[in-house]
Chain A
Amino acid sequence: MQIRRARKEDLPAVADLIVRTKRLNNEFDPLFAVVADAKTRAEKYIGSTIGVPDKLLLVAAEGSKIVGVLRAEMRERLFYEPHHEGFITDFYVLPEYRRKALGNEVLQQASAELRKMGAEIIVADVPSRNEIANNFYSKRGFRALTSSFGKSP
């Protein structure tokens, strides 16, 4: 298993995993209904990440097969210290590769890379109701920082 920066040719596979994370969010919360053309959007979204200096796209690859992805970007916390945050926007590992510490390794490596990019704090954004994601980060010493509240108008 190799954890490395994503390349252009990984795009379709990575986009597929990104759509899976969104669908998983929808399993927990109807306000995260996934749009029909999510795959196309995901390719565009990911495409604009590869090779951008303040953005990070890591993949876990078994041979030529992409089995996990982590996308993050550097953000500024305008009013707060620590000031520079490495912000994880998306993280997904295929089910059969879970429970084998792969997620942990990807997170570790991403944290290290983000630190090199100047991050003083690592923040991950997950839907409140996504228990899997909440458990994952809680178990690894992360705690809730902000909450966003939503309702249909």
Chain B
Amino acid sequence: MPKEDFSRKALAYSKFYGGKVGVSPKVPVRSLDDFSIWYTPGVAAVSRAIAEDAELSFEYTGRWNTVAVVTDGTRVLGLGNIGPEGALPVMEGKSLIYNYLGGVNAIPLPVRAKSEEGLIDLVRALEPSLGGVNLEDIESPKCFDVLDRLRAEMKIPVWHDDQQGTAGVTLAALFNALELTGRKLKGSRIVLFGAGAANVAAERLLVKAGVNPKDIVVLDSKGILHPERDDIDQLMLKNRWKYEIAIHTNGDRITGGLKDALKGADALVCAAGQGPELVKPDEIRVMNKRSIAFFMANPVPEMLPPAALAAGAEIVATGRSDYPNQVNNSLMFPAIFRGALDVRAKTITDPMVIDAAHELAAFAREKGISKDYILPTMVQWEVYPRVAAKVAQAAIREGVARRKMTAAESLRVATETIEHSRKVMNALRRNGIILDPPE
């Protein structure tokens, strides 16, 4: 379907349905008497129990499965700072995906925050109602600080999808691309073009997954990051995440631009900005044989796949669904939270994300990877419970789970919860409660 069609339909359908998600009951109302159970006076007993032990809020209410999708609207998709109201349709869409693919009760919640501190205060104040927080579309470098502080201060998982989600799926794609081209993670030379939320997180995950930081070269808009770049002191003050990367990556002290970085590189991961000619064929040509190139910018990748393939790249991926190998956050975030919520995790650690990436890659390998299929697609829904179960087990191993369960139980619980969401959707459609849109 052409892009204009998607846009036209999105406007028409959004108006027709008046939004994409809403709160719906989970309990029967058989007679008015039931209200005396679900509400006063019966509910007071539940409140008293929770007041005595707040942890019971995870048992007696929907908190265990509830995630807020929070944004301040400062960096929405490729649209920039369009404000919280403008971000609402995006957060609704994300909530729908959380629900349908992860069985998560996700609530879209753009907020008007005047400052970083204000945003942190707002999110922190939401904790009693939530099993987790998904931060979304917050500008960099503010997003790093917000995530780090909220992760440290809240006892429920806080996830910034533009950092951890994108990086996690990228890692999964890279696992299989390296496998197909006969490489190991360790020893591969990887270039990250762009030093915003996604690639800063990708760098950290790559290192934790086993890449030698000396084999990674990161570029921002001013060129290759290295410890002696002229603006290094400025980075230390203004963007300490990028500063740390400049200090510990790039063991060969390569300086200059993308072409310099790509000489002898095995893989390129771009999260740099709108293409289609941000990366040029002569830059791809200097990479090693059987090179890997991911172009993650949406809607226009830094380079279009046919051009990259023509320039010699063997495996090419983008963020788009109309080319093979879509590296899409939606493959990960529903499963990450399914797994984290199932064991009442207090946080989502990097090893949990890395395990999720391994499982995502393993699923694709079982189906048979090729240069046009390095990741599962969103319609292979069986992948979600499997990834969720790995996340749950990793949380237990990492010591951040409030609840223990076996691997088999994890898989069963995740499968049931996700299937429940799909059953609800099917039932609502079958019964004409959710109508098909008018043509």
Contacts and interface: CB of A to CB of B under 8 A. Distances in A.
B227 A95 contact: yes
A94 B233 CA distance: 9
Contacts of B247: 95-96
Question: Which residue, of B228, B230, B234, B236, has the highest number of chain A Cβ atoms within 10 A?
Answer: B228
A5 interface: no
Interface string A72-104: 000000000000000000000011100000000
Interface in A19-59: 20, 23-24, 27
Interface in B214-263: 227-228, 230, 232-234, 236-237, 243, 246-247
Contacts of B243: 95
A20 B227 contact: no
A24 B233 contact: yes
Identify whether the interface residues of A are mostly helix, strand, loop, or mixed. helix
A94 B230 contact: no
Interface in B252-281: none
A132 B227 CA distance: 18
B232 A95 contact: yes
Contacts, number: 24
Contact of B227 (A23, A24, A27, A96): A96
A23 B233 CA distance: 8
Nearest to A17: B228
B247 to A, nearest CB: 5
A94 B242 CA distance: 16
Identify whether the interface residues of B are mostly helix, strand, loop, or mixed. helix
Question: Which residue, of A24, A94, A95, has the highest number of chain B Cβ atoms within 10 A?
Answer: A95
Q: How large is the interface on B (under 10, 10 to 19, 20 to 34, 35 or more residues)?
A: 10 to 19
Nearest to A16: B228
Contacts of B237: 27, 132
Given A95-B227, A95-B243, A95-B247, A27 B234 contact: yes
Nearest to B238: A27
Contacts of B227: 94-96
Contacts of A27: 233-234, 237
A145 to B, nearest CB: 25
A93 B169 CA distance: 39
A72 to B, nearest CB: 21
A94 B234 contact: no
Nearest to A28: B237
A124 to B, nearest CB: 18
Given A95-B236, A95-B243, A23 B228 contact: no
Contacts of B228: 94, 96
A92 B230 CA distance: 14
Contacts of A132: 236-237
Contacts of A94: 227-228
Given A95-B243, A95-B247, A23 B230 contact: yes
Contacts of B246: 95
Interface of A: 20, 23-24, 27, 94-96, 132
Interface of B: 227-228, 230, 232-234, 236-237, 243, 246-247
24 contacts: A20-B230, A20-B233, A23-B230, A23-B233, A23-B234, A24-B233, A24-B234, A27-B233, A27-B234, A27-B237, A94-B227, A94-B228, A95-B227, A95-B232, A95-B233, A95-B236, A95-B243, A95-B246, A95-B247, A96-B227, A96-B228, A96-B247, A132-B236, A132-B237
Given A95-B227, A95-B236, 7 more contacts: A23-B233, A24-B234, A94-B228, A95-B233, A95-B246, A96-B228, A96-B247
